[in-house]
Structure 1
Amino acid sequence: MKIFFISDIHGSLYYLEKAIENYKKEAADFIAILGDELYHGARNDLPKGYNPKGVTELLNKYSDKIIAVRGNCDSEVDEMVLDFPIMSTYSSILYNGKRLFLTHGHIYGEDNIPKLMDGDVLIYGHTHIPVAKKENGIFIINPGSISIPKESNPNSYGILENNIFKIKDLNMNTFKELHI
């Protein structure tokens, strides 16, 4: 199974279209969205190609392939227009004997790691900063943001296949990698 991870779309149809192109090229089975699908939030400038309605339409085409969690900029109104649930604070996926704990990062994250077992994986967004490391037996991963990267990082996404998590820029160049 191959999982494509994106976070912090913030309503950018421009960057979502690039990400979906990469999802297809990667031939991933599922898309995991780590929150902040439609809106930019009060702390962010409008991202390039800001078009929440267009983002909704494009994401809905892939609704049967999407696993999503709620970000701090998401609301119940957003879930009313999306054809997949987004209002859960977290989701867990079992992957090759490991628990993948998916969350946005504003509740659970590096500063508030949930109760996980040794070897489990925390995957979050929110900070817009790519992370791939292991601390205290827990793998900690953030694929960064596809639309509003921070700290001079590239627009990025993650891909998980064969127990290898890669963080790539939108040109599909791997710049972080972690064997989980």
Structure 2
Amino acid sequence: MRILVISDTHGYVSPAMEIYRNQHEIEPIDCIVHLGDLVSDARALKARLHAEVISVKGNMDGSHSEEDYKILTTEYGNLLLCHGHMQNVKYDTQNLLYRAEELGCKAALYGHTHIPSFVDANGIYLLNPGSLSLPKGGNPGSYAMIETSSEEFRATILFEPPKKPKVTGGYLRDLLNNSDRA
């Protein structure tokens, strides 16, 4: 199974749409997992891309319940999907790890911090894709790709390429840069 994992888009879905299209061309993506903030973004992605999108509510969606999570069943095993704010992931991931263990999950996918992270915590993978639209920690926008099989869970955090600044230098420079000279 191949899964695109995003979180914390906060109303800005264009980068996620471009990433989905580019990654889907390389190899088909089975589903997109959106880990909250905002659920309306997940609905927009589903409508615009005609892709399977699995989403959970985040704190900006008004979620204030420990029950705002989903479990995604893969051939590798169950994956816990949550935003992470109810598990206090901005301070540490211990509560998230306990929740995954409680629910019999082999991995927990979460957002909320806007900082990408991927660790193996005593045999349970904890994955935060970071944020595409509001990255923190000096990182560019980020997302994750997961590939699962019955024996393996592989996750990679990927970063958006840096944006080239638009150079403007007045009328003459713009005229030369925009001409059709070779």
TM-score w.r.t. length of structure 1? 0.69
User: 1:18, 1:170 within 8 Å by CA — same for their partners in 2?
Assistant: no
The alpha-carbon distance between structure 1 residues 107 and 20, as it changes in their structure 2 partners (threshold 3 A), is: same
Q: Which secondary structure state, in structure 1, belongs to the residue aligned with residue 37 of structure 2? A: coil
CA positional deviation for 1:17? 3.4
Is residue 2:154 matched to residue 1:164?
A: yes
The alpha-carbon distance between structure 1 residues 2 and 13, as it changes in their structure 2 partners (threshold 3 A), is: closer
1:58-114 superposed Cα distances (whole Å, 9 cap, x missing partner): 4423465000000111159xxxxxxxxxxx711101222321001001113414221
The root-mean-square deviation of aligned C-alpha atoms, in Å, is 2.7
Distance (Å, rounded) in 2 between the aligned partners of 1:64 and 1:14: 15
CA positional deviation for 1:24? 2.7
Partner residue, 1:22: 22
Structure having the higher Rg: 2
Matches within 5 A, 1:55-134: 57-62=44-49, 65-75=52-62, 89-108=68-87, 109=89, 110-113=93-96, 114-116=99-101, 120-134=106-120
Which of residues 139, 142, 149 is equivalent to 1:153?
139
Percentage of identical aligned residues: 34
| Structure 1: tracts of 5 or more residues without a match | 40-51, 77-87, 172-180
1:1-52 superposed Cα distances (whole Å, 9 cap, x missing partner): 111111011011443333333343342110000000268xxxxxxxxxxxx7
Partner residue, 1:177: none
Distance (Å, rounded) in 1 between the aligned partners of 2:73 and 2:46: 24
Provide the aligned length of Structure 1 versus Structure 2: 146
Distance (Å, rounded) in 1 between the aligned partners of 2:18 and 2:47: 16
| Structure 2: tracts of 5 or more residues without a match | 162-182
